[in-house]
């Protein structure tokens, strides 16, 4: 069984959004076109409470894209984005949501960021997605979305470590590319056994 996992195709990650990924909106049509090729379609949604600890605005004297040490390791500080219920947190209007079996939200814990669709950034707290996939007998995952070097990367590496067969469609992703993060992500995914096309 094969699942299509669409990571964070939300307004805030598209042009004019709070944490806009260059060309983030240009992948939507291609993603929609693939949805019928899979047994299951799963959408993820970055879903932070106001004042989340990953926001630079929550740390006095810090600016967006600074890196701080959190109890679980280094954390990039972001502009406020994907606040629960906001326009920015909604999926891109053109994204076909009706085909989704499951929408998994992440980043709700105010103290821990969650790039991966499987575990929060402490690499321990599960989102429940692994259980959902296993229960449905899904073994093969195709991942697309935003951003390639953060949430897609972390999700793909975690999935490969959990034993799923993972393909990332690079043409249906876009990256933030912060201080070389895209190259690091590509190497990390390859090292974890992810197929990157
Ligand atoms: C993401 C930074 C912060 C992502 C989410 O979806 O890649 N990046 N929150
Ligand atoms: Zn976020």
Is 106 one of the annotated active-site residues of the chain? Answer: yes
Tell me what pLDDT residue 65 has: 97
pLDDT (tens digit, 9 = 90+) per residue, 12-43? 999 999 999 999 999 999 999 999 999 999 99
Residue with tokens 């991942």: 143
Backbone phi, then psi, for 54, in 5-degree steps?
A: -85, -5
* CA 117 – ligand 2 centroid, Å: 12
Q: Strand, helix or coil at 118? A: coil
pTM (two decimals)? 0.98
* CA 119 – ligand 1 centroid, Å: 14
Tell me what pLDDT residue 42 has: 98
For residue 182, what pLDDT band results from cuts at 50, 70 and 90?
Answer: very high
Which CA distances in Å does 130 have to 47, 92, 102? 19, 25, 12
Burial (0-12, 13-18, 19+ Cβ within 10 Å), 51: exposed
For residue 6, what pLDDT band results from cuts at 50, 70 and 90?
Answer: very high
For residue 146, the ligand closest to its alpha carbon is 1
d(CA 28, CA 173): 9
């Amino acid at each position: 069984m094969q699942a299509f996992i669409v990571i964070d195709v939300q307004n805030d990650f598209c042009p004019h959004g709070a944490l806009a990924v260059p060309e983030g909106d240009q992948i939507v049509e291609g993603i929609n076109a693939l949805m019928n090729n899979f047994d299951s379609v799963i959408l993820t949604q970055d879903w932070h409470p106001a004042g989340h600890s990953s926001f630079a605005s929550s740390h006095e004297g810090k600016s967006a894209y600074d890196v701080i040490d959190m109890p679980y390791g280094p954390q990039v500080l972001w502009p406020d984005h994907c606040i629960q219920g906001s326009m920015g947190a909604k999926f891109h209007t053109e994204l076909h949501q009706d085909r989704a079996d499951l929408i998994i939200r992440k980043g709700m814990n105010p103290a821990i960021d969650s790039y991966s669709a499987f575990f929060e950034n402490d690499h321990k707290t599960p989102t429940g997605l692994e259980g959902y996939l296993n229960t449905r007998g899904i073994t093969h995952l195709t991942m697309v979305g935003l951003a390639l070097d953060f949430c897609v990367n972390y999700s793909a590496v975690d999935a490969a470590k959990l034993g799923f067969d993972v393909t990332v469609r690079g043409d249906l992703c876009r990256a933030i590319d912060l201080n070389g993060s895209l190259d690091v992500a590509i190497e990390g995914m390859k090292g974890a056994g992810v197929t990157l096309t």
